[in-house]
């Protein structure tokens, strides 16, 4: 069985072909232009992951929200659960870029970190 995948690791968007055995084992990866592409393609066939960027509510800041991202990739199927947990969080201004806003989101072992500063009002 072959699977055609568009790599989303970087803006190149390589078209990768993965050959899988009947049991779902990866036999070969073709079409990638870098090692990251190969890793992505294998992951995409076995346990797809996505990074998540959104915002966290801020109290007392110059804005209502501060942008954040997952410090690593999250299981794709957990994205909406993670959104739900992140939307419940609330940070207190001032927030600094890099601050951990949600620890171990949805037990994924991944932290949600601020990607900008939000000074106090």
Partner 1 sequence: MNYDATVVGAGVIGSLIARELSRCNIKVALLERCNDMAMGTSKANSAIVHAGFDAKPGTLKAKFNVEGTALMPELCKTLSVPFKPVGSLVVAFSDEEMETVKELLERGVKNGVPGLEIYDREKLREVEPSISEEAKGALWAPTAGIVCPYELTIAAVENAVVNGVEFKRNFEVKSIDFDGNEFTVSDGKESFNTKVVINAAGVYCDEIAAMIGDSSIHTVPRKGEYMLCDKTIGGLAKHTIFQCPSKMGKGVLVTPTVDGNLLIGPSALDIEDKEDTATTAVALESILETAKKSVPVLTTREVITSFAGLRAHCDRDDFIIEESEKNANFINVAGIESPGLSSAPAIAVYVKNMVAGKLGATEKADFNPVRKDPVRFRHMSNEERKAIIAKNPAYGRIICRCETITEGEILDAIRAPAGARDVDGVKRRTRAGMGRCQGGFCGSKVVELLAKELGVEINEITKFGGDSKILYERTK
Partner 2 sequence: MLNYDIVVIGGGPAGMAAALKAKECGVDSILILERAESLGGILEQCIHTGFGLQYFGEELSGPEYADRFIKQVLDEKIEYKLDTMALEITQDNVVYAVNKTDGLLEIQAKAVILAMGCRERPRGALNIAGTRASGVMSAGTAQKYVNIDGYMPGKKVVILGSGDIGLIMARRMTLEGAKVECVCELMPYSSGLTRNIVQCLDDFGIPLYLSHTVVDIHGKDRVTGVTIAAVDENRKPIPGSEQYIECDTLMLSVGLIPENELTRNVGISIDRVTSGAIVDEYRETDHKGVFACGNVLHVHDLVDFVTKESQIAGEGAARYVLGKKSDPEYITTKGVDAVRYIVPQKVNIKNEGDVQLFFRVGSTFKNATVKVRYNGEEIISRKRPRLAPGEMENVVLKNDMLKSFAKDGVIEITVEV
- Residues 12 to 51: which contact partner 2 by CB under 8 A? 12-13, 15, 50-51
Q: What is the DSSP letter of 94?
A: P
Q: Name residues whose C-beta falls within 8 Å of residue 40's C-beta, 6 or more positions apart in sequence.
A: 5, 7, 8, 9, 16, 32
Element containing residue 43 per DSSP (H, E): helix 35-46
Query: Which partner, partner 2, partner 1, none, binds residue 52 by CB below 5 to 8 Å per kind?
Result: partner 2
* x/- track of binding to partner 1 for residues 52-91 (CB under 8 A): ---xxx------xx---------------------x----
Site of interaction with partner 1 (CB under 8 A): 55-57, 64-65, 87
């Amino acid at each position: 069985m072959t699977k055609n995948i568009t790599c989303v690791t970087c803006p190149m968007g390589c078209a990768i072909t993965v050959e899988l055995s009947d049991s779902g084992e990866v036999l070969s990866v073709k079409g990638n232009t870098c090692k990251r592409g190969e890793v992505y393609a294998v992951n995409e066939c076995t346990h797809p992951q996505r990074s998540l960027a959104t915002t966290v509510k801020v109290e007392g800041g110059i804005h209502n929200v501060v942008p954040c991202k997952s410090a690593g990739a999250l299981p794709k199927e957990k994205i909406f659960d993670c959104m739900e947990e992140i939307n419940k969080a609330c940070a207190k201004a001032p927030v600094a870029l890099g601050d951990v806003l949600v620890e171990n989101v949805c037990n994924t072992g991944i932290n949600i970190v601020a990607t900008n500063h939000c000074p106090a009002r």
